[in-house]
Amino acid sequence: DKVTRAKVKRLQLGSPCSFCAEVSRGFPAFGFRCLRREMAQESAKGKESDHTKETKTDMAEDVAWPNEAWSDVAREIFHQLNAGTEGGGWKRYPGFLRTGDRRLFSRNVTEKGKGFEFAGFTNKKEQRATAVCQFGPYLEGGPGNVHGGAVATILDAVMGYCAIEALGEFAMTANLNINYKSAVRLGSTVMLHAKVDRIQDRKCYISAYVTSADGSNTLCEATSIFIRPSPEKLEHIKKDMYSDMPFDLVTESLSKKHKL
């Protein structure tokens, strides 16, 4: 109904926060509040069984989906965000676990719940990305806290989703600036929000921020510049990067317009 859609919209867009000086003030002033657990459970009905049908092989299992290690909070937020993919202009980004000699940094821990447990959602028209992430015990920095590099990793990933949507193909990080405002506790769940500020030729300027699960605390703010490689460099990147991974399954999950 209209009320439910409005609540999901607020969750997707996040809460207002104070950005550092170089970040454009582009986020709408929507308040953030967790939705009722009943809504999350309702949106989750049938989804777990549907997800198993998406997986074609064990090697290509889409892990950007709740598993038994996800907390109730992380699972609830995921299903609220996933509800927005049903005709709302948002889509879920797939994530694939690689177990060979070469592994994607954010998806390289095979033990569920020990590393990054996250799922991202993008809106091409609005040039935004939103994600929920639960940090496992293998990501410790200071005692009991998540390593700042682990937070940067997820920020880079979510901002990269934005860049790919905006530039229409593969994009690489050229600059990433982060202002850490508060420590992130191990085992906690956070929300990430990113948006494209502007596009200049092959460059995409993006701002983002991370909040606690309920949106009450802004944990860090960031800006970045992503660059679309030249056609020549892109061909070399594809030959090197995708030779040992099920990239055909990745591209099937993304829009056909994205010629990665």
Q: What is the set of active-site residues?
A: 156
Q: Are 119 and 78 in contact (CB under 8 A)?
A: yes
From the number of C-beta atoms within 10 Å of its C-beta (0-12, 13-18, 19+), residue 246 rates as middle
Cα separation, 194 vs 218, in Å, equals 13
